[in-house]
């Protein structure tokens, strides 16, 4: 196991996200743990950038 992934696992086991337990985190695969971390730390998962720049028809 990657040491950085184990640090991440410990971080989430000490303070699990809402709706999860430390046991849930302990049983997660490395890929699932990294995915969870990515989505928890993404700026805005629902912002697709639509309408920020470009051509507008009014």
Per-residue pLDDT of the chain (58 residues; tens, 9 = 90+): 688 899 999 999 999 999 999 999 999 999 999 999 998 988 765 666 665 666 556 6
Q: How far apart are the first and last CA of the chain?
A: 55
pLDDT reported for residue 43: 73
pLDDT reported for residue 49: 62
Position 51 in a domain: no
Q: Which domain holds residue 10?
A: 3-41
pLDDT reported for residue 56: 57
What are the two backbone dihedrals, phi and then psi, of residue 33, each rounded to the nearest 5 degrees?
A: -65, -45
Q: Is the full-model pTM beyond 0.75? A: no
Position 48 in a domain: no
d(CA 5, CA 46): 26
pLDDT reported for residue 51: 58
Position 57 in a domain: no
Position 50 in a domain: no
Position 14 in a domain: yes
The total number of structural domains in the chain stands at 1
Position 28 in a domain: yes
Position 56 in a domain: no
Position 27 in a domain: yes
d(CA 37, CA 4): 12
């Amino acid at each position: 196991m990657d040491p950085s992934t184990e640090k991440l696992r410990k971080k989430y086991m000490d303070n699990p996200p809402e709706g999860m337990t430390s046991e849930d985190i302990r049983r997660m695969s490395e890929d699932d743990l990294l995915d969870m971390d990515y989505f928890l730390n993404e700026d805005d998962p629902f912002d697709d950038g639509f309408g920020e720049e470009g051509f507008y028809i009014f």
